[in-house]
Chain A
Amino acid sequence: METQILIFGIALPVIVGMVFSAWQIFRPKPYDSNIYFGLGISATLFASAMSQDSLANFTTQNRWLWFPLSIILLGALSAISCVLLRCRSATIRNLVVFASVVPAALLLKIPEWEHFTNRFILGVGAAIFAALLTIIVQKRNGFSIPMAFSFALVAPCALAILSGFAKLAVPIAAVSCCLGFLSLVRLLRKSQTQTRDFVGLSGGVVVATIAALGVATGFGYDTKNIPLTAWILAAIAPLGICLGEFAPIRSRPTLLAWSHIIGCIVLAATAILITVVAFNSSERLG
């Protein structure tokens, strides 16, 4: 029953993500995080999504599966870009990885996003969002960033459940769990590892894109008219880490770490609260 969702929808995909991402923790190399973290997170989402739906007529009958497919392709593309461009300047590498968000958004062929122009605008918006997020992510190597992202992704997950789209909620929940576990691993390994950037370029881009495209998918299929404000807040919830970047806070490491987490929690909780207030409760059939 519910145990099967926990095993195949959450636990096994999280292990897949951990195996990829933990490589960076135990075998740090200058560009490792730019490969393994993004790959790990996208693999978690993809594996979990595959456990949720019939693979017959993959992405034609179940078009929401374009979302996990676009994310795994983005994870691979960003990793390949980081490897191929590791000798180039960071600016070129960043631009190439950010630009790869646009084709990921163009792959979404779901209700409300049928028009190319809409998907292109979504892709450009997601790329800018990913760029903003990555500026901070690449500066911070502590456990607080993945922990903050873990809480931020609770918002799109909760909105998906409240809109009645449980199949979308499970993969996002799996990513959230994976990020949570990785932050704990990072916390435990803090003294032994001096990783320059933990989540890294590909990790930051993949998390930002999961939030943006995940919310776009949920919004596209929403028949319960969840307020647009709630969807937007859920999409930008990872930007809550900006709270820690204010001058009085960033000089104090403990406060900085907590501010990253609290900023994301506040945005995520607000999105959920707006939805819950909009309609009192939600029931699911099974």
Chain B
Amino acid sequence: MFLSLTPTLAFAISTLLVLSAITQQMPTTTVPATSATTAPNQVSTAATSWKIDDTHSMVLFRVQHFGAGMFWGRFDGVTGSISTSGNPMQTLTMNVTIDTNSVSSANENLDGHLRSPDFFSVKEFPTMTFVSASAKKINGDMWEVTGDLTMHGVTKIITTNVEMTGQSESARGKKIGFETTFTIDRSQFGMTYGIEKNSIGKSVRIIVALEAESP
């Protein structure tokens, strides 16, 4: 009886051993791309969604005043989402919304003028948005991002180089940072006040600094 069962038992044991060995050799596909436990040379394609941290993100702008000095202002209300995939990062998409009412020049009276229809017309256009359409990795942490910038009711396609400034994971969660600088012609967005009399420049340099966190 015992002897007759021996071949069956031996086959079952050997089958279990083989299955166990196969299972251990299989790659892990459920580990997030940004996980610190991922091996450095291991490529992952899992997507990570990031929420832009309003407190630690800002948009600065710079425009020439009366052909002389540079006037600086900022927007504090920056929200939106970023999506990345891979480690190192393989894809990047951005959806950024800026609250135009959050414009600040450190002078309350000037802020009132900036909010008026002479400039951002915040009651009419309460937000500015940037929605990326494509992103191409240039080298290292530099990306060439193309997307739709909507400002003052006008949408234009812009292309800008975006740098991923850093990525970390701590007790406060996973964080990622981006920065870009680009220049727009504000008259193309219908914001023409002061151009003809040369009191406010036509070109506006915009610096966007984003910090986002993954839930």
Give Cα A211–Cα B194 distance, bound, in whole angstroms.
26
Q: Point out the residues of chain B lying under 8 angstroms from A282, CB to CB.
A: 109, 112-113
* Binding-face segment, B85-93, B139-147, B167-175, B185-193: B185-193
Please pick, from A60, A164, A165, A220, the residue contacting B153 in the complex, using a CB distance under 8 A.
A60
For window 113-146 of chain A, which residues contact chain B by CB distance below 8 Å?
Answer: none
Which single member of B101, B112, B152 contacts A164 (CB below 8 Å)?
A: B112
Contacts A164-B116, A286-B65, A286-B193 given; indicate if A221 touches B199 (C-beta within 8 A): no
Q: Does B82 contact A (CB under 8 A)?
A: no
Q: Tell me the complex Cα distance, A274–B65, Å.
A: 31
Those of A229-279 within 8 Å (CB) of chain B: 279
A164 to B200, CA, bound (A): 15
**Which of B112, B119, B123, B153 has a CB less than 8 Å from the CB of A111?**
B123
The secondary structure that dominates the B interface is: loop
Residues on the B chain within 8 Å of A281, using CB: 109
Q: Verify if A5 is at the interface (C-beta below 8 Å from B).
A: yes
From residue A79, how far is it (CB to closest CB) to chain B in Å?
A: 29
Decide: A165 and B117 in contact? CB cutoff 8 A: yes
Interface string of A41-59 (1 = CB under 8 A from B): 0000000000001101100
B152 touches A61 (CB 8 A): yes
Which of A64, A110, A164 is close to B115, meaning CB atoms less than 8 Å apart?
A164
Binding site for B on A (CB under 8 A): 1-2, 4-5, 53-54, 56-57, 60-64, 110-112, 163-168, 220-221, 223-224, 279, 281-286
Residue of B nearest to A168 (CB): B117
**B138 contacts partner chain A, Cβ-Cβ < 8 Å:** no
Q: Are B197 and A1 in contact (CB under 8 A)?
A: yes
Tell me whether A221 and B116 are in contact in the complex, defined as CB-CB below 8 angstroms, given that A56-B190, A285-B71, A286-B199 are known contacts. yes
Q: Is the CB of B66 within 8 A of A286?
A: yes
